[in-house]
Structure 1
Amino acid sequence: MTTISLVIPCYNEEGNIFEMLKACQQTFSACPAQIEYVFINDGSKDKTFSELQNLYQTYPNEQIKVINFSRNFGKEAAMYAGLQHATGEYTAIIDADLQQDPKYVLEMFNFLETNPDYDMVACYQKERRESALLKSFKRLFYVLMNAISEIEFIANASDFRMMRREVVDAILQLKESHRFSKGIFSWVGFETYYRPYEVKDRQHGQTSWSFRKLFSYALSGFVGFSTAPLKIATLLGASVSGVSFIYLFYTVWRWLVQGNDVPGFTTIVSLILFSSGLQMILIGILGEYLAHTFLQVKERPIYIVRDYLHRDKTLSTNPKN
């Protein structure tokens, strides 16, 4: 029998755990495939893990796996852990907050079953219910990423997607510590079908994404999937140096030809401040790449497991990372 693995990252989702499973059971009640649930508790501060333990014990006939991190490692690590533990021919990533309706997972499964030329289905939000500032920020992000990256980033494409086993195996070959799944999904290639979906209202809890976290996430994408910022730094440095030399020759020429003192204290100070600020920005760009390299060469695990529940063994320490 065909198996669908649902990778479900959880962070402070204590009120959504049971409702999420019930929604999936209703959706897949007539589905011919077997469903495997892979819940990842990403260091939640509430009772999410307790609810997952209760869920595991309440539904002994369901194929449920619960991975409990030793601390919060981030959604990227949670998705990676889920993909490592997923065993299905098809694997879908879906949030636990019920904003992504499981009915779309069933539709993606039916699409892949009837369209063997496609390897992955990715959902995107056609209309985002966000502030104008956040929409503008995300629109700018995709414009810049597509301008400087060698791979294509589809605007508003989310982690909510289903993929065949071959795609999952390809993604798991990428071992970088700073993971940016939007780029990884595009980098591995494969034929992808993009379809729109509507986001539902969150039932319980609050989103953990803030503007600061989104900005940091976007910065990881720039650094992880393009070396263009380094090239831009070189071009800016060369341009400023060229302008400085031209201004130097002009100053010397005025002094030699006209024989008068060259005024312009304000101009000189402005140029010094501008060049100093530019140097700090360029050093910051280099620092971002150096920091990513520094953390990568340490070869620390992407995540650490504290508890691992599944039907064959109820507790395991760090089974996969």
Structure 2
Amino acid sequence: MKLSMIIPCYNEEKNVELFYERVKEVFADHNFEYEYIFINDGSSDQTYEVLKQLAQLHKESNITVLNFSRNFGKESAMYAGLKESIGEYALIIDADLQQDPAYALSMMEILDKSEEWDSVAAYQKERLEGKILRSFKKTFYHLINKISQVEFVDGASDFRLLRRSMVEAILSLPENNRFSKGIFSWVGFHTYYMPYDVHDRANGKSSWSFWKLMKYAIEGFVSFTTAPLRLATMLGILCSFVSFVYLFVVIMEKVLMKIEIPGYATVICLILLIGGIQLFCVGIMGEYLARTYLEAKHRPLFVQRNKIDYKNMK
């Protein structure tokens, strides 16, 4: 098997068949074996029914469908797809046709021509989001590259082609709280960054919102750097130092200079300031502790309700 396509699906009932037809069209003149691995990530529409019908109608097309028991998120879907894949190359691609399957041929050509590269990652030439979202993403990449030990390339997406050796390295990482952009960088290997143009969604709306992106960004910070914990420590040291200095000043004014200090407003302000900093630091530690707690449970990344496997249909 030359290529395994991992296609996470969440409410894509109107897109999966279009995606299948587009792949058939693009690969029609190329003689290599490939498989589809669709992951139905707990869709609330008819995505699974459409995928089931697609697999039954096209038994010759190497279609596997993994059906999750509920929505576990794209990270789990990608992991499940990589685990199921058997191809020499594994392609992670969305089903909404924003990422044209035609780019896969260019990616494969890069890996075929040079053993220097272990993966090809696509990045957007021009972002289509609004200014606020673009600014938010730029700030995220700037900050995380300042404090993380691994490099995050601005604009690099999950749309990428991986050699089997890199797939095995990614699957060897056992953590449940996964942030794939960081994992792709952490495992090392040589990645070629290829620009691509994002198309409009064929149908439907994106499930990503600003708050989901914010949550995803926090996951990235917590998963790949302990700098926030060090920040909490430094804030504690700074507040302690300022408090001791202020205490010394108050004692000098009271004892030596005989200055009466009302102090009510000052005390309230200090209590609020220090209390706020303490809560902020406790919140940072709580983020790390929560993930430690979840990892200690050793729960699976996903629960598979059922599976349609082309290998058992032929």
Question: What TM-score range do you get, normalising by the shorter chain?
Answer: over 0.9
Alignment of 1:240-319 (within 5 A): 240-313=239-312
Counting only pairs closer than 5 Å after superposition, residues 30-179 of structure 1 correspond to structure 2 as 30-179=29-178
Q: Which amino acid aligns with 2:180?
A: S
**1:205 to partner: Cα distance:** 1.1
Q: How far off its partner does 1:162 sit?
A: 0.1
CA distance in 2, matches of 1:28, 1:35: 9
Alignment-mate amino acid for residue 48 of structure 1: T
What corresponds to 1:239 in structure 2? 238
Taking every aligned residue pair, what percent have the same amino acid on both sides?
Answer: 51
- Look up the equivalent residue of 1:129 and give its one-letter code: L
| Inter-partner Cα distance in structure 2 for 1:10 and 1:193 | 26
Q: Unmatched 5+ residue regions in structure 2?
A: none
**Aligned-pair distance for 1:264?**
3.6
Q: How many corresponding residue pairs?
A: 313
Work out the CA distance in 1 between the residues paired with 2:56 and 2:179: 34
1:210 to 2:199 alignment? no
Q: CA deviation at 1:32?
A: 2.5
Equivalent-residue separation in structure 2 for 1:311 and 1:164 (angstroms): 23
Distance, in Å, in 2 between the alignment partners of 1:21 and 1:28 is 11
Letter in 2 for 1:263: P
The 2-side partners of 1:240 and 1:33 are apart by 64
Whether the aligned pair in 1 keeps the contact of 2:55 and 2:310 (CA below 8 Å) is no
Q: Tell me which amino acid in the other structure corresponds to 1:254.
A: E
Shift of 1:23: 0.3
Aligned equivalents of 2:106 and 2:311: distance in 1? 31
C-alpha distance in 2, partners of 1:4/1:251?
73
Distance 2:40 2:311 in 1: 19
CA distance in 2, matches of 1:165, 1:178: 23
- The answer to whether the 8 A contact 2:62-2:311 is kept is no
Deviations 1:62-97 (A, max 9, x none): 011000000000000000000000000000000000
Measure the CA separation in 2 of the matches of 1:204 and 1:264. Answer: 63
**Secondary structure at the counterpart of residue 97 of structure 1:** coil
CA RMSD between the two structures: 0.9
Structure 1 runs not aligned, ≥5 long? 315-321
Structure 2 partner of 1:28: 27
1:269 and 1:247 mapped to 2: Cα distance? 14
Q: Secondary structure at the match of 2:312?
A: coil
Alpha-carbon shift at residue 115 of structure 1 (Å) = 1.3
Structure 2 Cα separation of the partners of residues 48 and 205 of structure 1: 12
DSSP-derived class of the 1:72 partner:
coil
Hey, what's the Cα distance between the residues in 2 that align with 1:39 and 1:175? 23
CA distance in structure 1 between the aligned counterparts of 2:102 and 2:270, rounded to whole angstroms: 59
Work out the CA distance in 1 between the residues paired with 2:31 and 2:280: 56
